[in-house]
Amino acid sequence: MYRQIREYVESLFANAPPSAKMTDLKEEIITNLNDKYTDLISNGMGEEQAYNRVIAGIGDIDELISSQGSPVDYAEVERQNKRSAFLTALAIGLYVFSLIPVLILDSFGFLEDIGAALMFLIVGVATGLIIYANSVRPKRGMLADEAQKKRARTMSLAVSMYIFAIIPPVLISSRFRGLDNLSAILMFLIAGIATVILIYSVMSKPKYVKTDDTIVEEFKQWQYEQKNVHTTCHTIQTIIWILTVVLYIAINFLLGAWAVSWLLFVIAAVINKIIRLCFELAE
């Protein structure tokens, strides 16, 4: 019956556009059908009945083929890639420019706290830009939709706010010695708002709901979840690297720990490897 299952699925894909993507999709469906057939046989069902049950549970293959084989707007992909590249380049430039206020205002002495505050402000903006650029950049030829762009803006705002939270302690603690508690309150307030925004953005992300129990709907659900897993992993790793750069700048210019601060990048690399391994094991 395994041969009959393959022949039946190949007949469904007879008019599908020839591509490696379609071949992989077809083989994935055949493998799933064979597994279901084996399970039914092992539970005591007859071969003919098991075959009919498996075939009946395939679902609308034409819809799946249509969704997988939709033409790619390469011109729009190129435009989005260019926009993401520009935003990324601008963000990296801002990281470098963020040192200018510190260097200029440091010569005035009493304005060095303002220079540090401006540095964190620019770094926060740069971080938001680079998070957004990487979140909406086309992946595997797939364009980001409006929902993805909205989530990207929300996440970039939240991450930027974590960096903005450093500004009150920098300004208040250096000028008003008796208001350390106020600076801490403002810092945790901003960080708390950023956390609320970030958690809401993650938890409000829609999940794929199967319309039936066919193999096509199961495959769509699996594909949707896999896309989310890869996107989440990539976003977390990007945030870790950005925060590492921010910490590196902050530690060196506030504490002058140039001799040991480079270890932050080693630690970040190890953490990213662990995160990647955890996601791969979860798959």
pLDDT of 29-63, one tens digit each? 888 888 888 888 888 888 888 888 888 777 777 76
Q: Is it the case that residue 71 has pLDDT exceeding 60?
A: no
Q: How do the residues of the chain divide into helix, strand and coil, expressed in percent and rounded to 5?
A: 80, 0, 20
Higher pLDDT, 131 or 215: 131
C-beta of residue 224 within 8 angstroms of C-beta of residue 208: yes
Length, in residues, of the chain: 283
Q: What is the pLDDT of residue 253?
A: 63
**Which of 47-56, 68-77, 243-252 is least confident?**
68-77
pTM, two decimal places: 0.61
Closest CA to 155 of 181, 194, 189: 194
Q: How confident is the model at residue 193 (pLDDT cuts 50, 70, 90)?
A: very high
pLDDT in tens, 212-242: 566 667 766 666 666 666 666 766 777 777 6
Higher pLDDT, 110 or 244: 244
Q: Is it the case that residue 69 has pLDDT exceeding 60?
A: no
In this structure, the number of other CB atoms found within 10 A of the CB of residue 116 comes to 23
Q: What is the pLDDT of residue 125?
A: 92
Closest CA to 129 of 101, 165, 98, 171: 98
Mean pLDDT of 196-208: 75
Q: What is the pLDDT of residue 215?
A: 67
Beta bridge partners of 142: 139
Q: What is the pLDDT of residue 141?
A: 55
